[in-house]
Amino acid sequence: MTVSLVGAGPGDPDLLTMKAARLIAEADVVVHDALIDQRVLDLIPVTAERIDVGKRPGRSTPQEMISALLVELGRQGKRVVRLKGGDPFVFGRGGEEALALLDAGIAVEVVPGISSSIAAPAAAGVPVTHRGVSAAFTVVTGHRQAGEPNVDWRALARVNGTIVILMGVAHRGTIASELIAGGLGAATPVMAVRSATTDGEVVQRCRLDELGSAAIESPATIVVGAVAAFDLTSATAAAHAAHVG
């Protein structure tokens, strides 16, 4: 009786781990999020039950109900795959689900996935670290719910590394202002990639003081820092990047 919390990666099914692909192919039931790419969902056997618990505007399944569902399915002895975008433990609430399952005496297996925090920058040719340019990257949420700890954006501005922001589209103006107040230059490069590695991928670049008015749509990963000026997707762009670096 084991429930597998499986990372589905950013979208492209070629970015699934081999273990994720195997567990999906062997599943009796797959409980999945809204952001899972259709090409990954197509790997679920037709004989398997699919349960979409994705949160969408105007419709969401409370987290407690998702955890209770996983416990119930686990108790039935089915091969349960809980499929989550990116990595289950990177802003995926995988920890909460693992705790609920363990509390109920059900074993949990975590299968890491390629997080959008690294896959999205890579899709746009942005290395999150680069020798001589950035020696650190911080992955941070731009969306905070009541009761959660505040993100100290001004302190982050002083880390002198790359800042990778998930779920930051709605508050991008405030985030940019806070980072500038914390000491980052107004001209600091910013790169945002929407729906990385999917058919809907869109890459945008701007300066930090333009971020608030940039037309960026969710789901997007926003990268702030000198590396955001890089574009290692082509030789021409890479030559420019080498100049920047």
Ligand X SMILES: C[S@@+](CC[C@H](N)C(=O)[O-])C[C@H]1O[C@@H](n2cnc3c(N)ncnc32)[C@H](O)[C@@H]1O
Active site residues: 33, 55
- Of the candidates 116, 122, 141, the one whose C-alpha atom is nearest the C-alpha of residue 37 is 116
Closest separation between CB of residue 77 and ligand X, Å?
28
Among 6, 29, 44, 91, binds ligand X (CB under 6 A): 91
Among 13, 127, 189, 219, binds ligand X (CB under 6 A): 219
C-beta of residue 25 within 8 angstroms of C-beta of residue 81: no
Between 17 and 28, name the residue whose CB sits nearer to ligand X: 17
Closest separation between CB of residue 235 and ligand X, Å?
25
Q: Can residue 85 be called a binding residue for ligand X (CB under 6 A)? A: yes
Give the tokens for residue 147: 């009761």
3-state secondary structure the chain: CEEEEEECECCCHHHCCHHHHHHHHHCCEEEECCCCCHHHHCCCCCCCEEEECCCECCECCCHHHHHHHHHHHHHCCCCEEEEECECCCCCCCHHHHHHHHHHCCCEEEEECCCCHHHHHHHHCCCCCCECCCECCEEEEECCCCCCCCCCCHHHHHCCCCEEEEECCCCCHHHHHHHHHHCCCCCCCEEEEEECCCCCCCEEEEEEHHHHHHCCCCCCEEEEECHHHHCCCCCHHHHHHHHHHC
Closest separation between CB of residue 243 and ligand X, Å?
27
Residue nearest to ligand X as judged by C-beta position: 86
Q: How many CB atoms lie within 10 A of CB 220?
A: 23
Given the rule CB under 6 A, which of 19-27, 75-83, 149-157, 213-221 is the region that contacts ligand X? Answer: 213-221
Closest separation between CB of residue 121 and ligand X, Å?
9
Residues within window 147-166 making contact with ligand X, judged by CB under 6 A: 166
- Of the candidates 40, 34, 33, the one whose C-alpha atom is nearest the C-alpha of residue 15 is 40
Q: What does the per-residue mask of binding to ligand X show for 109-128, with x meaning CB under 6 A?
A: ------xxx--x--------
Cα(119)–Cα(238) distance, integer angstroms: 18
Among 21, 41, 104, 167, binds ligand X (CB under 6 A): 167
Residues within window 23-82 making contact with ligand X, judged by CB under 6 A: 35
Among 136, 218, 234, 242, binds ligand X (CB under 6 A): 218
Closest separation between CB of residue 221 and ligand X, Å?
4
Between 10 and 127, name the residue whose CB sits nearer to ligand X: 10
Q: Can residue 10 be called a binding residue for ligand X (CB under 6 A)? A: yes
Among 195, 206, 224, 231, binds ligand X (CB under 6 A): 195
Q: Footprint of ligand X on this chain (CB under 6 A)?
A: 10-11, 35, 84-87, 90-92, 115-117, 120, 166-167, 193, 195-198, 218-221
